[in-house]
């Protein structure tokens, strides 16, 4: 650039020279001038720059300066070039140092490259190894995951382990059951392992789980046992956890059974205590009064005790149901019955002692009978709770039932044998004897209490036959014996009266049909006697018996009746007059014994049937006397009444 500037002034001076020179085209000056003139200054940047540079130092436009301009410019150019050279020298030096540095770097790099190469060669092995290791690492990680999953599936977590292996008296919680069911699950799942080729692991885990299961069950059992042992209050609080424990324990029948036993024993204690309290202490402030306060009233006493036991049994059954509600084992119902049986076993002794006392005190046949029915009722009621298993309580109640029944029948037999010891003579009115009415009222009471008993029908019916034969048979015997010294009519009346009283007594009760039939039959037999007696009584008193027997004994070979002595017309006539008197007032001729009959209906029957007999007798007499063969005359006068007339008069 500086070069250009230097040249320009030269040119311009030349221009100036040429313009002042010739303007001929061939003139170099003019050519030069032209050239200058043609130069477009404003578009020539170089020129502009040169001028601009010139204006910097060419400040004074004088001749001298103009003359010196060239020198100035050259000097300036020189100095600039010198400067330039100096600077370039610096630059060169710099470049050289850079070059040096680069050289150094290059060597350094080379060195490094070689070292790297060496290192690379050296590490080649390592890299291969590392790669291998990485691969292995990955594989191991996968295996670790698998192992983790395996452990999660086939092993317990630490917490679960801790729960299961808690201290001996640690309380059992929900978590315990979760852990336990996990153990059980694992034990089940491990069986799959055994089918694969992982048998060793399978076996080991199985064994481990089995051991764990055993110890856990044992701990659970100890806990449950302890828990049950505490259930000795009247209030029996079956906690949900205990219910769960029973559910879990059902897998170990022995432990399950032992726990139930423990429960039973605890509850047994509670029930005995409660029973004794109810017997001796009663309710709050003595109301309800202790049961023993009623020991003077056997029915109430025994009834209260049994009712209490019934309620206690029902409650205990409920407790058991609560305890075992989650148990799915077969035969839970039997288990429960067994345990309820065990629980109620404790009260048997105090119950038995008390009931025996009541029975042995001989409270009388009726009460004994009522007691036996009551016992039977409760046997029935309680067995519907306990079931039909052989529970001591039921056995005790049954024993007491049998005892009371036995004592009852003993008492009846005793009564009967006392009757036979001193046979009473029939009273003058031929009515039932005092011992008969007394015995019958006993029977009535017994039957009445039977009737109101709570025993099912079929059982009652069976009892009845025995009671009836126990009382009625000796009574019948008694009546027969006491009547043995009487005359026919007296005896028959007495027997009819006695039988009638028995019949009316029995008729009020059920299941007596057979006996009633038998009594009816016996009454009929005696009625026949009485009817015959009454008929002959009437015939005798009406004077017809003589005639009638004459008619009956007469046979055709003896000739006509009228010829027989004492059968002549006048005798017959006299008898007929007498008979006519009877016809006018038939009621006057009644056997005195008939008036003693207690039943008007029977009396009426005897009267009617005996009258029929009388009519028939008259009929026979009439037929005989009116027969021409017998040779009576004036028949109309002799026998004014036809049998028909007699019959209508008498009926």
Partner 1 sequence: MTAAPYNYSYIFKYIIIGDMGVGKSCLLHQFTEKKFMADCPHTIGVEFGTRIMEVHGQKVKLQIWDTAGQERFRAVTRSYYRGAAGALMVYDITRRSTYNHLSSWLTDARNLTNPNTVIILIGNKADLEAQRDVTYEEAKQFAEENGLLFLEASAKTGENVEEAFLEAAKRIYQNIQDGSLDLNAAESGVQHKPSAPQGGRLNADSQPAKEGCSC
Task: Write the interaction track for partner 1 spanning residues 603-622; mark x where CB under 8 A is met and - where it is not.
Answer: --------------------
Binding to partner 1 (CB under 8 A) within 618-647 occurs at none
Separation of alpha carbons 345 and 265, rounded Å: 10
Cα first-last separation, the chain? 191
User: Applying CB under 8 A, does 218 fall inside the site for partner 1?
Assistant: no
User: Applying CB under 8 A, does 226 fall inside the site for partner 1?
Assistant: no
Separation of alpha carbons 392 and 379, rounded Å: 11
Nearest in space to 472 (alpha carbons), one of 509, 517, 519: 519
User: Applying CB under 8 A, does 510 fall inside the site for partner 1?
Assistant: no
Separation of alpha carbons 19 and 191, rounded Å: 126
Task: Write the interaction track for partner 1 spanning residues 472-501; mark x where CB under 8 A is met and - where it is not.
Answer: ------------------------------
Nearest to partner 1 of 219, 244 (CB atom):
244
3-state secondary structure of 42: helix
User: Applying CB under 8 A, does 269 fall inside the site for partner 1?
Assistant: no
Binding to partner 1 (CB under 8 A) within 446-465 occurs at 451-454
What are 399's two structure tokens? 């024993």
- Contact between 272 and 347 (Cβ < 8 Å): yes
User: Applying CB under 8 A, does 158 fall inside the site for partner 1?
Assistant: no
User: Applying CB under 8 A, does 229 fall inside the site for partner 1?
Assistant: no
Binding to partner 1 (CB under 8 A) within 564-583 occurs at none
Nearest in space to 545 (alpha carbons), one of 559, 531, 535: 535
| Range in contact with partner 1 (rule: CB under 8 A) among 120-128, 284-292, 500-508, 628-636 | 284-292
From 82, 214, 318, 334, residue interacting with partner 1 (rule: CB under 8 A): 318
Size of the site for partner 1 (CB under 8 A): 42
Phi, psi of 481 (to 5 degrees): -65, -45
Separation of alpha carbons 641 and 377, rounded Å: 71
| Range in contact with partner 1 (rule: CB under 8 A) among 10-18, 61-69, 249-257, 303-311 | 303-311
From 239, 488, 642, 645, residue interacting with partner 1 (rule: CB under 8 A): 239
Cα-based distances in Å from 381 to 79, 225, 270, 346: 144, 31, 22, 19
User: Applying CB under 8 A, does 26 fall inside the site for partner 1?
Assistant: no
Binding to partner 1 (CB under 8 A) within 343-362 occurs at none
Query: How big, in percent rounded to 5, are the helix, strand and coil portions of the chain?
Result: 80, 0, 20
From 59, 158, 167, 287, residue interacting with partner 1 (rule: CB under 8 A): 287
Nearest to partner 1 of 374, 519 (CB atom):
374
User: Applying CB under 8 A, does 139 fall inside the site for partner 1?
Assistant: no
Separation of alpha carbons 509 and 369, rounded Å: 16
Shortest Cβ 148–partner 1 spacing (Å): 32
From 234, 334, 510, 604, residue interacting with partner 1 (rule: CB under 8 A): 234
Shortest Cβ 307–partner 1 spacing (Å): 3
From 75, 115, 142, 240, residue interacting with partner 1 (rule: CB under 8 A): 240
| Range in contact with partner 1 (rule: CB under 8 A) among 11-19, 176-184, 307-315, 586-594 | 307-315
Scored b (16 or more CB within 10 A) or e, 7-25 reads ebbeebebbeebbeeeeee
Scored b (16 or more CB within 10 A) or e, 538-567 reads bbebbbbbebbebbeebeeeeeebbeeeeb
Dihedral Cα 216, 218, 222, 227, nearest 10 deg: 60
User: Applying CB under 8 A, does 332 fall inside the site for partner 1?
Assistant: no
| Backbone conformation region of residue 558, classed left if phi is above 0, alpha if psi is from -120 to 50, else beta | alpha
Separation of alpha carbons 614 and 590, rounded Å: 13
Nearest in space to 212 (alpha carbons), one of 172, 166, 144: 166
Nearest in space to 320 (alpha carbons), one of 305, 334, 306, 304: 334
- Contact between 542 and 589 (Cβ < 8 Å): yes
Nearest to partner 1 of 453, 482 (CB atom):
453
User: Applying CB under 8 A, does 300 fall inside the site for partner 1?
Assistant: yes
| Range in contact with partner 1 (rule: CB under 8 A) among 48-56, 281-289, 337-345, 421-429 | 281-289
From 35, 75, 117, 325, residue interacting with partner 1 (rule: CB under 8 A): 325
| Range in contact with partner 1 (rule: CB under 8 A) among 97-105, 133-141, 277-285, 401-409 | 277-285
Binding to partner 1 (CB under 8 A) within 372-411 occurs at 374, 377, 381
Nearest to partner 1 of 306, 419 (CB atom):
306
Nearest to partner 1 of 110, 237 (CB atom):
237
- Contact between 275 and 241 (Cβ < 8 Å): no
Shortest Cβ 303–partner 1 spacing (Å): 4
From 64, 122, 125, 284, residue interacting with partner 1 (rule: CB under 8 A): 284
Dihedral Cα 567, 568, 571, 575, nearest 10 deg: 60
CB-facing half-sphere around the CA of 506: CA atoms within 13 A: 23
Shortest Cβ 388–partner 1 spacing (Å): 18
Q: Which residues bind partner 1 (CB under 8 A)?
A: 174, 233-235, 237-241, 243, 274, 277-278, 281-285, 287-288, 291, 299-300, 303-304, 306-308, 310-311, 314-315, 318, 322, 325, 374, 377, 381, 451-454
């Amino acid at each position: 650039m500086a070069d250009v500037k230097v040249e320009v002034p030269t040119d311009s001076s030349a221009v100036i020279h040429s313009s002042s020179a010739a303007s001929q085209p061939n003139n170099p000056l003019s050519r030069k001038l032209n050239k200058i003139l043609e130069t477009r200054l404003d578009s020539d940047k170089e020129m502009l720059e040169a001028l601009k540079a010139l204006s910097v130092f060419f400040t004074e436009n004088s001749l001298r300066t103009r003359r010196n301009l060239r020198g100035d410019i050259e000097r300036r150019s020189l100095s600039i070039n010198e400067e330039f050279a100096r600077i370039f020298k610096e630059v060169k030096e710099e470049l050289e140092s850079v070059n040096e540095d680069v050289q150094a770097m290059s060597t350094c790099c080379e060195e490094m490259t070689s070292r790297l190469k060496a290192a690379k060669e050296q590490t080649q092995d390592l890299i291969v190894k590392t790669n291998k290791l990485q691969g292995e690492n990955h594989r191991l990680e996968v295996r670790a995951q698998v192992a983790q999953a395996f452990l999660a599936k086939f092993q317990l977590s630490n917490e679960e382990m801790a729960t299961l292996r808690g201290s001996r008296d640690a309380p059992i919680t929900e978590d315990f059951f979760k852990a336990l069911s996990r153990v059980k699950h694992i034990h089940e799942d491990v069986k799959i392992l055994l089918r694969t080729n992982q048998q060793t692991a399978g076996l080991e885990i199985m064994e481990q789980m089995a051991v764990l299961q055993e110890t856990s069950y044992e701990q659970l059992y100890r806990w449950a046992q302890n828990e049950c042992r505490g259930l000795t209050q009247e209030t029996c609080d079956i906690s949900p956890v205990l219910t769960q424990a029973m559910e879990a324990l059902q897998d170990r029948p022995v432990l399950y059974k032992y726990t139930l036993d423990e429960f039973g024993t605890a509850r047994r204690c509670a029930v005995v205590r409660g029973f004794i309290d109810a017997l001796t202490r009663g309710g709050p402030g003595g109301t309800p009064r202790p049961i023993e306060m009623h020991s003077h009233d056997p029915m109430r006493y025994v009834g209260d005790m049994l009712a209490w036991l019934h309620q206690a049994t029902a409650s205990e059954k409920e407790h058991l149901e609560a305890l075992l509600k989650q148990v799915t084992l077969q035969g839970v119902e039997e288990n429960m019955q067994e345990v309820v049986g065990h629980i109620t076993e404790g009260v048997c002794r105090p119950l038995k002692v008390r009931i025996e006392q009541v029975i042995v005190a001989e409270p009388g046949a009726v009460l004994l009978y009522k007691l036996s029915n009551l016992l039977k009722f409760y046997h029935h009621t309680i067995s519907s709770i306990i079931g039909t298993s052989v529970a001591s309580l039921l056995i005790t109640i049954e024993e007491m039932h049998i005892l009371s029944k036995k004592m009852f029948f003993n008492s009846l037999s005793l009564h009967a044998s006392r009757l036979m010891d001193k046979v009473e003579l029939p009273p003058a009115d031929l009515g039932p004897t005092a011992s008969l009415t007394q015995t019958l009222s006993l029977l009535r009471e017994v039957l009445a209490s039977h009737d109101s008993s709570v025993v099912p029908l079929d059982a009652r019916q069976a009892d009845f036959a025995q009671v009836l034969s126990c009382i009625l048979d000796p009574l019948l015997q008694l009546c027969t014996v006491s009547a043995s010294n009487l005359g026919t009519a007296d005896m028959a009346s007495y027997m009819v009266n006695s039988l009638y009283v028995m019949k009316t007594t029995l008729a009020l009760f059920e299941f007596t049909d057979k006996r009633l039939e038998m009594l009816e039959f016996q009454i009929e037999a005696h009625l026949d006697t009485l009817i015959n007696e009454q008929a002959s009584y009437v015939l005798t008193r009406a004077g017809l018996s003589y005639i009638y027997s004459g008619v009956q004994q007469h046979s055709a070979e003896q000739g006509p009746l009228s010829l027989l002595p004492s059968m002549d017309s006048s005798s017959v006539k006299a008898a007929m007059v007498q008979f006519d008197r009877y016809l006018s007032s038939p009621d006057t001729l009644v056997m005195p014994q008939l008036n003693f009959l207690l039943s008007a209906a029977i009396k009426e029957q005897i009267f009617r049937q005996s009258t029929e007999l009388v009519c028939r007798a008259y009929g026979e007499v009439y037929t005989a006397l009116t027969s021409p063969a017998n040779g009576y005359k004036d028949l109309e006068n002799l026998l004014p009444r036809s049998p028909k007339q007699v019959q209508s008069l008498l009926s």
